[in-house]
Amino acid sequence: MHLRSGGFSRLELLVVVGVIALLTVVTVPEFGQSASDARLDQLDVRLFELRHAIADYRRDHAGALPGVAATHSRGGSAAPHASAEQAFVLQLMRPSDLAGNTAEEPSAAFAFGPYLRPGLPQSPVAGEQPAGRAASVGVVAQPPPLRAQPGLQAAWLYSSVTGQLIANHPAYQER
């Protein structure tokens, strides 16, 4: 009879490598799916947060929607909002009055909001957006249904007509 030294045979090593390969094939797709599910959950949370802020603004401003250009007061002087996008962001992130004018600090005249802190949330699915655009919004005066407009270069798409907000990505616009 031939005595073995203390090592493993080639067959035993082959079986172990095969089992490890099989476990890898089974578990790796699960991790990939988990990351995708987490990104979608994060998208849903951020959409809820933004939609809730829009609803709160509308409630406090007698049914008016954010994104309608007004003025912004800074240091005692007021200047018009430069765009509907700027109006939307400032009206949700700064104190405002009933007309939608915004200010840097709350006061008796600017008693509403802010509705978002610390700022506009980034879209977890804005991978195609240029740097710095993952937390941007495109404001359109589009009647329903609101559809993604990838050429707009904005992570979020908001209708100033209906108050609808979607992720500006064709694969996620129905969320």
pLDDT digits (tens, 9 = 90+) for 111-137: 998 999 888 888 888 665 555 556 788
Q: How far apart are CA 149 and CA 144, in angstroms?
A: 14
Average pLDDT of the chain is 84
The string of DSSP codes covering 93-153 is HS-B-TTS-EESS--SSS-B---SSSSPPPPTT-TTSPTT-TT-EEEE--PSSP---GGG-
Nearest to 156 by CA among 89, 100, 110: 89
Q: Give 29's pLDDT tier (boundaries 50, 70, 90).
A: low
- Angle at 80 (CA atoms; ends 88, 72), nearest 5 degrees: 65
Give residue 64's pLDDT.
Answer: 92
> For residue range 35-70, what is the model confidence (pLDDT) as tens digits?
677 888 888 899 999 999 999 999 999 999 998 878
d(CA 47, CA 93) in angstroms, rounded, equals 16
> 26-30, 94-98, 121-125, 169-173 — which is least confidently predicted?
26-30
pLDDT on residue 132: 55
Average pLDDT for 90-103: 92
Tokens of 101: 């004018």
The one-character DSSP state at 83 is S
Note the pLDDT of residue 71: 83
